[in-house]
Amino acid sequence: MLKRTPLFEAHRTFHAKLVDFSGYEMPLQYKGIKEEHLAVRNRAGMFDVSHMGEILIRGERALEVVQELTVNNAALLKAGQSQYSVMCLDNGGIVDDLLVYCLSGQEFMLVVNASNIEKDFNWIMQVNDGRAEVSDISEEIALIAVQGPEAVSIMQKLTRDKPGDIPMFEFRSMEVSDYDNILVSATGYTGERGFELYCNIRHVNVCDLWENIMVAGEPNGIRPCGLGARDTLRLEAGLALYGSDLTEDHTPLEAGLSWLVKWDKGSFMGKDALLAQKSRGVSRRLCGFVVQDERRIPRSGHAIIGTDGEVLGNVTSGGLSFMLDRGIAMGYIPTEHAEAGNSVMIRIRDKEYPSEVVRLPFHKRKK
Amino acid sequence: MNHPKELKYTREHEWIRDNGDGTVTVGVTDFAQNELGDIVFVEIDKVGESVDKDDTFGTVEAVKTVSELYMPLSGEILEWNEALEDEPELINEDPYGKGWMIKIKMSDPAQIEELLTVDAYNEIIA
């Protein structure tokens, strides 16, 4: 039996096409992926991402545990701030990518991928070894993402607070649509300005909140969006997806996430292996590719081929960029081929198509 | 789901309209376009050729997936719907009309009897 989020009835009302996504019955799309994608780029879109996992780490030694678990420096976070990070195994392989929210000096919330909740929880418990109180609150938390250039003005209609003043990667507890204590976070996974609203389902009628945002956003052209558009948006924004672009077989240095790794913060899981890899040199890197031929769409698993005909790697994520009107992909190739501007071929079914290595993101948001 | 009674169907979710002059028109069903989602690219690569039943004649690429297109019966592909080059979304919007894909001159008109009726097709997708 698939699990359902508290917004399941709302998805029915809006005629979502539902799919199984890591054990949850989630909306793939409502009207269509392209329309939803363009709504987020040009106006606003709203997503149910309640399947995401939330793990609380509390206690006097909570910071110490978070520092050991993650590669970024959580000691720099003040209450109300969050940061993107990854957890690594001893060998440097990525356990998961996540957001670390500093609720207070002794309370952190880790927001993890739905497909990894159980694995992450077990890993955290193992590293924690009884030092802090760890709890999986995923089932209590519903998460609504409102994303796009109109997100600020839509949210402003529903609160007396000032959501537009929240700096990127910070969050505030706000009263939204008469529900208090909604955690409004200026984060997202689309490459656009926007918010993620963490709601405790014991205090918030989440379907009612969804409806109210939909009504408030109607004049702005808001659309309900499914996981299909979430995937095309994040790919176009050059954001890696765990399970495809990030796995335990890849390190953050290979994945273009070395900027997350704070070497001088003290010890953390994977540090020695990552340091060794850094001094040895990183032999492969996650790159972006744009297919030159119009409308040839690279897909996961397609081979990336060098100018001498040798296979350099495989596409880890691929699709059509609606903004570029070109096929785009990410994949790991040897460092010596990874420079932006280089030419490679991508084998799409039985033919090879010239493609260019590009710097990520594929699409930058309008300022 | 809308599947016209006067058409024939295949297990590969194609529809076939008998034009009564030895030719048929072929497209994909409403069920297929709905399953595929937004169609962004269509390639018909055997126009002018004679192709056997069940061989591929092209591909249809949607945002999430790509599918091969199979000949519902043997014959020569007389023409394809060139409007799909610029507007592949016609398949989503009007699968039995403006979204038609190819016209075939049948080499063995008896094969039409082997195709599925609308009731048989509806049973398959039920």
Q: Does A320 touch chain B (CB under 8 A)?
A: yes
pLDDT value of position A181: 96
Contact A329, A317 (CB under 8 A): yes
- The whole-number average pLDDT for the span A206-213 is 98
Contact B13, B68 (CB under 8 A): no
Q: Does A157 touch chain B (CB under 8 A)?
A: no
- What pTM value is reported for the model? 0.93
Burial B87-100 (b: 16+ CB within 10 A, else e): ebbbbbeebbeebb
Q: Mark yes or no for CB contact B40/A320 under 8 Å.
A: yes
Q: How far is B38 from chain A (nearest CA, A)?
A: 6
Q: Mark yes or no for CB contact B40/A232 under 8 Å.
A: no
pLDDT value of position A367: 62
User: Which residue of B38, B43, B44 is the best one to mutate when testing the A interface, meaning the one whose CB has the most A CBs within 10 A?
Assistant: B38
Q: Mark yes or no for CB contact A33/B92 under 8 Å.
A: no
- The whole-number average pLDDT for the span A116-142 is 98
Q: Mark yes or no for CB contact A228/B63 under 8 Å.
A: yes
What count of residues does chain A have?
A: 367
Confidence of residue A293 (pLDDT cuts 50, 70, 90): confident
Give the pair of three-digit tokens for residue A331.
Answer: 């994949």
- The whole-number average pLDDT for the span A246-273 is 98
| Chain A residues whose beta carbon lies within 8 Å of the beta carbon of residue B41 | 295-297, 320
pLDDT value of position B59: 93
How many degrees, rounded to 5, is the angle at CA A257 between CA A255 and CA A260? Answer: 155
Confidence of residue A112 (pLDDT cuts 50, 70, 90): very high
The answer, yes or no, to whether residue A323 has pLDDT greater than 80, is yes
- The whole-number average pLDDT for the span A191-213 is 97
Q: At B8, give phi and psi (nearest 5°).
A: -105, 160
Place of tokens 């993890």: A112
ipTM over 0.90: no
Q: Does B85 touch chain A (CB under 8 A)?
A: no
- The whole-number average pLDDT for the span B28-34 is 95
Q: Mark yes or no for CB contact A32/B38 under 8 Å.
A: yes
Q: What Å distances lie between residue A56 and A40, A51, A116, A124, A165, CA to CA?
A: 30, 16, 15, 10, 26
The answer, yes or no, to whether residue A249 has pLDDT greater than 70, is yes
Instruction: For residue range A336-350, list pLDDT tens digits in order.
Output: 999 999 999 999 988
pLDDT value of position A366: 72
pLDDT value of position B57: 96
Smallest CA–CA distance from B65 into chain A, residue: A299
d(CA A294, CA A272): 44
The answer, yes or no, to whether residue A251 has pLDDT greater than 80, is yes
Q: Mark yes or no for CB contact B41/A228 under 8 Å.
A: no
Confidence of residue A207 (pLDDT cuts 50, 70, 90): very high
Percent of chain A with pLDDT over 70: 100
* Helix (H), strand (E) at residue A67: helix A62-69
- The whole-number average pLDDT for the span A272-292 is 98
pLDDT value of position B8: 97
Q: Mark yes or no for CB contact B63/A320 under 8 Å.
A: yes
pLDDT value of position A273: 98
Instruction: For residue range B36-68, list pLDDT tens digits in order.
Output: 999 999 999 899 999 999 999 999 999 988 999
- The whole-number average pLDDT for the span A125-130 is 98
Instruction: For residue range A162-182, list pLDDT tens digits in order.
Output: 999 999 999 999 999 999 999
Q: What is the mean pLDDT of chain A?
A: 97
The answer, yes or no, to whether residue B14 has pLDDT greater than 70, is yes
d(CA A360, CA A238): 5
Question: What phi-psi label fits residue A342: left (phi over 0), alpha (psi between -120 and 50 degrees) or beta?
Answer: beta
pLDDT value of position A25: 95
**What is residue B73's three-state secondary structure?**
coil
Confidence of residue A356 (pLDDT cuts 50, 70, 90): very high
